[in-house]
Structure 1
Amino acid sequence: MTSASKGPGRRPVVGITGRSVPVTLQGTDMVVSLALQSHVDFLAAAGCLPVVLPLRPGVEEVVAGLDGLLVPGGPDVDPALYGQSRHPRTRGGSADMDRAELAVLGAALEARLPLLAVCRGMQLLNVRCGGTLHQHLPEITGDDTHRPDGAAFVFGRHVLELEAGSRIASVLGSDGPPETACHHHQAVDRIGTGLTATAWAPDGVVEAVEAVGHPFAVGVQWEAGQTEDDRLHVALARAARHR
């Protein structure tokens, strides 16, 4: 992106790291790179230009042309990246995808780019900063309330405890304690260097982290983007606009 394209009045460009999934379109099987439409819609409604970033080697080079980054949910992170062997319930994507997304996250942190990391995104942010994960949360909490087990897709619901004065409290705390809509079986264990926990579920599971000293780098464990609550997307857009 040239400096001329960064003039006054232009829309902030926010990258959304893509997910590669198999689909059948007009009777033909294919693999596509995509983003959740609500992420696109929320950011566009907040005045941004969302762009999907296919997770290929070298994708981190586009960070210089972005004003913000959203890393969404997806498959489990390869546990080898945080020094563990694979749990039987861990279901990863691909090593190439993990490496590409870690590179984008690293470039965004180094550039102090406004960043929102959701679900897998928060876990990957923690791993990028040297942290570790619980690979199967029911073995820690003793229940499946963060990802209810059953045939149908059902959200777990938790009222959050927010750290007073935190970024996440400034975004969500004005209307009383927020309730999450979550669907995850993994979670932060050891918190990475430079990150701090700023929200918790009643059972003590970390539900948000923030990068210390960063203008706006927030990770949330719940499914932001799969409910009507767009406050985090609006906050990311505002940070991208002010960058």
Structure 2
Amino acid sequence: MNADTNHPASAGHRPVVGICARTAPVTLQGSDLAVCLALRSHVAFLAEAGCTPLLLPPLPGAEDVAGRLDALLVPGGPDLDPALYGARPHPATRAVDPDADRAEIALVERALDAKIPVLAICRGMQLLNVLHGGTLHQHLSDVTGHDGHRPRAASFTLGRRPLKLLPGSRIAGVLDEAEPATACHHHQAVDRLGAGLSATGWADDGTVEALEVTGHPFAVGVQWECGQTPDARLHHALAAAAARAGNSPAAARPGT
């Protein structure tokens, strides 16, 4: 088994992995409510890998718990506020929540500074790029000329695109397969890559599908929807990195 996917049980404790929550409307027992939630698959994959998932609402001050985490998962979600990267909103950009964006950016920045392992998925990868000074294509089909990354369908449908990975990269080591492919659902993507980031995966049309923070023990962004398929390899890789982080001396963990 690849070193990045070893089960963390040997660490002697259950690493705590923060999951950035999403706010969404639901109807429960006839009442319309707004709730903070996470995909059950993210919770289940991390739990089965020996971790304790912890939901983190997108509020100011959430960054203060970063140093007490063993890892952080930043899932998919709504579009980022284009003002964060100096752009005007595209007509297709929607569901923007500037306050939540800034709270999440502060949390991710604090986690990276503390060298906590980070897995950033879809919107999470885009946020990682913007945090490092990068920009986004606000509507990818304007650039690629197709809707293959977010197929037009009556129900939620994943786009399947061949994936080219940088040999020797962390993401290539985690996936470890001859012909990887994405399972994606995104209409935005990396435009200018942020400073201190390395692109490590691309779709067949050149869209950046994976990136890594240079010099960080484990900070990986993927554009595809891991969590919407049965593939738990990235969650298990994060869990293994969390176990290693949990074994580090507390003095080396800012905020603890």
The TM tier, using the shorter chain, reads over 0.9
User: What letter matches 1:170 in structure 2?
Assistant: G
Residue 91 of structure 1, aligned match among 94, 107, 117: 94
Corresponding residue of 2:253: none
Distance 2:95 2:170 in 1: 30
Which ranges in structure 1 are unaligned for 5 or more consecutive residues? Answer: 1-7
Distance 1:148 1:18 in 2: 25
Corresponding residue of 2:212: 210
Per the TM alignment, residue 92 of structure 1 is displaced from its structure 2 partner at its CA by 3.1
1:164 corresponds to 2:204: no
Corresponding residue of 2:197: 195
User: Which consecutive segments of 4 or more residues in structure 1 shift more than 6 A?
Assistant: none
Corresponding residue of 1:25: 28
**Could you report, residue by residue, the CA deviation over 1:21-67 in whole angstroms, capped at 9, with x for unpaired residues?**
11111111111100000000000000000010011111000101100
Distance 1:154 1:32 in 2: 24
Structure 2 SS opposite 1:181: coil
Distance 1:238 1:53 in 2: 21
Per the TM alignment, residue 177 of structure 1 is displaced from its structure 2 partner at its CA by 2.0
Per the TM alignment, residue 170 of structure 1 is displaced from its structure 2 partner at its CA by 0.4
Distance 1:154 1:23 in 2: 21
1:12 corresponds to 2:15: yes
Distance 2:227 2:180 in 1: 15
Residue 237 of structure 2, aligned match among 204, 226, 235: 235
Residue 43 of structure 1, aligned match among 39, 42, 46: 46
Aligned length: 235
Corresponding residue of 1:116: 119
1:103 corresponds to 2:106: yes
Distance 1:149 1:101 in 2: 29
CA RMSD of aligned residues (A): 0.8
Q: 1:38-187 residue pairs with structure 2 within 5 A?
A: 38-173=41-176, 175-187=177-189
Which ranges in structure 2 are unaligned for 5 or more consecutive residues? Answer: 1-10, 246-256
Distance 1:93 1:30 in 2: 19
Structure 1 SS opposite 2:183: strand
Corresponding residue of 2:226: 224
Identity of aligned residues (%): 64
Higher relative contact order (CA 8 A, sep 6+): 2
Structure 1 SS opposite 2:88: coil
Distance 1:89 1:223 in 2: 20
Structure 2 SS opposite 1:222: coil
Distance 2:79 2:229 in 1: 22
